[in-house]
Structure 1
Amino acid sequence: MKIRISWPAGHLTATLDDTPTAAALIAALPLQATAHTWGEEVYFDTGLTPALEAGARQVVAPGTVAFWTEGNALALPYGPTPISRGWGFPQTEFGGECRLASPCNVLGRVDGDPRALATVRDGDVIHVERA
């Protein structure tokens, strides 16, 4: 399953795995939301309320498509967040990880370079649709 995520300064596609939360997201598309940024993560409310799945993780790779069940939000990390080890410092062996606010359901991965998300600004309108 592929989705397209777009905002005023850009867009990207992502490939979703076959998970209950990914299926719920696909069924809810298209959707529009207001972007929020937290360090090098973009997240936005989806209106969905899935349960935390087995295999949920708090530390993920840049470009992971995750669902933050505590915030009913899609979370798209592309670099460190304020709670990442090494936040505010150059990438070292001690940190620079993508640490989400709490464990999240992993839905898939951004196709291509997730750093495109750096052009999303807090308050931007985000559109998500099937690709």
Structure 2
Amino acid sequence: MKVKIKVGKVEVTAELDESLAPKTIEAIKKALPIKSTANRWGDEVYFHTNVNVSVEENSKEVVEVGDVAYWIPGKAICLFFGKTPISDDKIRPASAVNVIGKILDDPTVLKEVKDGDEVLVFEVESQ
């Protein structure tokens, strides 16, 4: 399933992989379109959602550039494009996240995102 994520003036497409976290992605699908407000934490953009998932699926404490994840404690979707404030030689989220997919475009465009930018997430038709 592909989604378009618009954050301020930046737009990326992400592929959500249902084999990674089926319950999490099903809950996100039901919540689309999602409108929210962006937050930055180092080279991570995250935004709160009304998605309520309590099950850890594909939960990871280390992620990769371009990963899209759901953070259970914050009910937030996270977009990773570099190191967070607690990263060492690896990219570390605040706590374990359910990795749900990958950004298909260059994730470093997210460096332009500022706290408070409007976020819109919606499904796009697969080609």
- TM-score of the two chains, using structure 1 as the length reference: 0.88
Equivalent position of 2:55 in the other structure: 52
What's the CA shift for 1:123?
0.5
Q: Distance in 2 between matches of 1:55 and 1:10?
A: 28
**Tell me, which stretches of 5 or more residues in structure 2 are unaligned?**
none
Equivalent residue number for residue 79 of structure 1: 82
List gaps (5 residues or longer) in structure 1: 86-94
Give how far 1:8 is off. Answer: 2.3
Superposition deviation, residue 112 in structure 1: 2.1
Which letter does structure 2 place at the counterpart of 1:106? V
Contact 1:13 1:110 (8 Å CA) reproduced: yes
Whichever structure has more strand as a proportion of its residues is 1
Deviation at 1:48, TM superposition (A): 1.3
Contact 2:24 2:57 in 1 (8 A): no
- 1:100 alignment partner, SS class: coil
- Residues 57 and 106 of structure 1 are in contact (CA less than 8 Å); yes or no, is this contact kept in structure 2? yes
Contact 1:17 1:107 (8 Å CA) reproduced: yes
Aligned to 1:29: 32
Match of 2:98?
105
Give the root-mean-square deviation of aligned CA atoms. Answer: 1.0
Q: What percent of counterpart residues are identical?
A: 41
Q: Is contact 1:52-1:104 (8 Å) kept?
A: no
User: What is the Cα deviation at residue 116 of structure 1?
Assistant: 1.3
